[in-house]
Protein backbone atom coordinates (compact mmCIF):
# COMPACT_ATOMS: atom_id res chain seq x y z
CA UNK A 1 0.00 0.00 0.00
CA UNK A 2 1.42 3.32 -1.00
CA UNK A 3 1.81 6.35 1.18
CA UNK A 4 -0.78 8.26 -0.83
CA UNK A 5 -3.40 5.54 -0.37
CA UNK A 6 -2.68 5.35 3.34
CA UNK A 7 -2.95 9.13 3.65
CA UNK A 8 -6.31 9.12 1.83
CA UNK A 9 -7.67 6.37 4.13
CA UNK A 10 -6.54 8.24 7.27
CA UNK A 11 -7.92 11.52 5.92
CA UNK A 12 -11.23 9.80 5.08
CA UNK A 13 -11.57 8.30 8.57
CA UNK A 14 -10.73 11.68 10.10
CA UNK A 15 -13.35 13.32 7.89
CA UNK A 16 -16.01 10.77 8.91
CA UNK A 17 -15.18 11.22 12.62
CA UNK A 18 -15.44 15.00 12.36
CA UNK A 19 -18.70 14.73 10.40
CA UNK A 20 -20.25 12.54 13.12
CA UNK A 21 -19.13 14.94 15.86
CA UNK A 22 -20.47 17.99 14.00
CA UNK A 23 -23.77 16.21 13.33
CA UNK A 24 -24.13 15.36 17.04
CA UNK A 25 -23.37 18.98 18.04
CA UNK A 26 -25.88 20.37 15.55
CA UNK A 27 -28.53 17.90 16.72
CA UNK A 28 -27.89 18.87 20.33
CA UNK A 29 -28.05 22.58 19.51
CA UNK A 30 -31.30 22.08 17.59
CA UNK A 31 -32.81 20.28 20.57
CA UNK A 32 -31.74 23.11 22.87
CA UNK A 33 -33.22 25.76 20.61
CA UNK A 34 -36.42 23.85 19.89
CA UNK A 35 -39.43 26.13 20.31
CA UNK A 36 -37.35 29.34 20.25
CA UNK A 37 -37.98 31.53 17.24
CA UNK A 38 -34.52 33.08 16.89
CA UNK A 39 -32.62 29.95 17.92
CA UNK A 40 -30.12 31.68 20.16
CA UNK A 41 -28.42 29.67 22.84
CA UNK A 42 -28.99 32.39 25.45
CA UNK A 43 -32.78 32.30 24.98
CA UNK A 44 -32.77 28.52 25.08
CA UNK A 45 -30.81 28.41 28.32
CA UNK A 46 -33.07 31.05 29.89
CA UNK A 47 -36.09 28.98 28.90
CA UNK A 48 -34.54 25.88 30.48
CA UNK A 49 -33.71 27.81 33.67
CA UNK A 50 -37.25 29.19 33.88
CA UNK A 51 -38.65 25.67 33.56
CA UNK A 52 -36.20 24.49 36.23
CA UNK A 53 -37.27 27.21 38.68
CA UNK A 54 -40.96 26.46 38.02
CA UNK A 55 -40.40 22.73 38.52
CA UNK A 56 -38.47 23.39 41.74
CA UNK A 57 -41.39 25.44 43.12
CA UNK A 58 -43.88 22.78 42.04
CA UNK A 59 -41.86 20.05 43.74
CA UNK A 60 -41.64 22.10 46.96
CA UNK A 61 -45.43 22.59 46.91
CA UNK A 62 -46.02 18.90 46.26
CA UNK A 63 -43.66 17.99 49.09
CA UNK A 64 -45.59 20.22 51.50
CA UNK A 65 -48.89 18.72 50.34
CA UNK A 66 -47.54 15.21 50.78
CA UNK A 67 -46.32 15.99 54.30
CA UNK A 68 -49.73 17.44 55.20
CA UNK A 69 -51.58 14.44 53.74
CA UNK A 70 -49.34 12.00 55.58
CA UNK A 71 -49.96 13.73 58.90
CA UNK A 72 -53.71 13.91 58.23
CA UNK A 73 -53.68 10.24 57.27
CA UNK A 74 -52.66 9.32 60.80
CA UNK A 75 -56.12 10.39 62.02
CA UNK A 76 -58.08 8.46 59.38
CA UNK A 77 -59.56 5.08 60.21
CA UNK A 78 -56.92 2.54 59.32
CA UNK A 79 -57.64 -0.54 61.38
CA UNK A 80 -60.78 -2.61 61.72
CA UNK A 81 -61.31 -5.51 64.07
CA UNK A 82 -64.47 -7.61 64.33
CA UNK A 83 -65.45 -10.22 66.91
CA UNK A 84 -68.66 -12.25 66.65
CA UNK A 85 -70.13 -13.76 69.80
CA UNK A 86 -73.29 -15.13 71.39
CA UNK A 87 -74.16 -13.15 74.56
CA UNK A 88 -77.43 -14.97 75.34
CA UNK A 89 -78.05 -18.67 75.65
CA UNK A 90 -81.58 -18.49 74.20
CA UNK A 91 -80.44 -17.37 70.72
CA UNK A 92 -78.69 -19.59 68.25
CA UNK A 93 -75.48 -18.68 66.48
CA UNK A 94 -73.10 -15.80 66.96
CA UNK A 95 -75.29 -13.04 65.61
CA UNK A 96 -73.97 -10.34 67.95
CA UNK A 97 -70.71 -8.62 67.11
CA UNK A 98 -68.28 -5.95 68.20
CA UNK A 99 -66.40 -3.85 65.65
CA UNK A 100 -63.41 -1.63 66.47
CA UNK A 101 -62.59 1.24 64.09
CA UNK A 102 -59.21 2.77 64.95
CA UNK A 103 -56.72 5.25 63.52
CA UNK A 104 -52.93 5.03 63.66
CA UNK A 105 -52.85 6.24 67.27
CA UNK A 106 -55.39 3.61 68.38
CA UNK A 107 -58.11 6.24 68.74
CA UNK A 108 -61.63 5.66 67.43
CA UNK A 109 -64.80 3.84 68.38
CA UNK A 110 -66.02 0.37 69.27
CA UNK A 111 -69.52 -0.48 68.05
CA UNK A 112 -71.31 -3.38 69.66
CA UNK A 113 -74.50 -4.96 68.37
CA UNK A 114 -76.30 -7.26 70.78
CA UNK A 115 -78.87 -9.47 69.09
CA UNK A 116 -81.69 -10.91 71.17
CA UNK A 117 -85.06 -12.40 70.27
CA UNK A 118 -86.77 -9.24 71.44
CA UNK A 119 -84.64 -6.88 69.36
CA UNK A 120 -81.24 -5.59 68.49
CA UNK A 121 -79.28 -3.08 70.62
CA UNK A 122 -76.37 -0.95 69.46
CA UNK A 123 -73.73 0.55 71.73
CA UNK A 124 -70.86 2.83 70.81
CA UNK A 125 -67.86 3.51 73.03
CA UNK A 126 -65.03 5.92 72.35
CA UNK A 127 -61.49 4.57 72.37
CA UNK A 128 -58.44 6.65 73.23
CA UNK A 129 -54.93 5.17 72.95
CA UNK A 130 -56.34 1.66 72.70
CA UNK A 131 -58.46 1.76 75.88
CA UNK A 132 -62.00 2.83 76.67
CA UNK A 133 -62.45 6.57 77.15
CA UNK A 134 -64.23 6.94 80.53
CA UNK A 135 -65.92 3.52 80.11
CA UNK A 136 -65.07 -0.08 80.86
CA UNK A 137 -64.73 -2.39 77.85
CA UNK A 138 -66.09 -5.93 77.65
CA UNK A 139 -63.80 -8.83 76.77
CA UNK A 140 -65.27 -8.93 73.25
CA UNK A 141 -64.59 -5.22 72.76
CA UNK A 142 -61.01 -5.68 73.97
CA UNK A 143 -60.65 -8.60 71.56
CA UNK A 144 -61.94 -6.46 68.67
CA UNK A 145 -59.39 -3.75 69.53
CA UNK A 146 -56.66 -6.39 69.65
CA UNK A 147 -57.77 -7.73 66.25
CA UNK A 148 -57.65 -4.21 64.81
CA UNK A 149 -54.02 -3.74 65.83
Both 15 and 66 in a single domain?
yes
Residue range 116-133, pLDDT digits in tens = 888 889 999 999 998 888
82 touches 94 (CB < 8 A): no
Q: Print the domain residue range for 62.
A: 3-73
Tell me how far apart the alpha carbons of residues 31 and 99 are, in angstroms, rounded to a whole number: 61
Both 83 and 143 in a single domain?
yes
Residue range 15-73, pLDDT digits in tens = 999 999 999 999 988 887 777 666 677 777 888 899 999 999 999 999 999 999 998 88
Both 62 and 86 in a single domain?
no
Question: Which of 73, 99, 116 lies at the terminal end of a domain, its last residue?
Answer: 73
Both 58 and 117 in a single domain?
no
Tell me how far apart the alpha carbons of residues 35 and 143 are, in angstroms, rounded to a whole number: 65
Amino acid sequence: MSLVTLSIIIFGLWNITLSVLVFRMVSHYNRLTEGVSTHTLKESLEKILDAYVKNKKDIAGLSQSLTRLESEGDTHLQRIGIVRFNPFSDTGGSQSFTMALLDKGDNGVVMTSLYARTGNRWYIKYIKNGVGHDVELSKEEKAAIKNAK
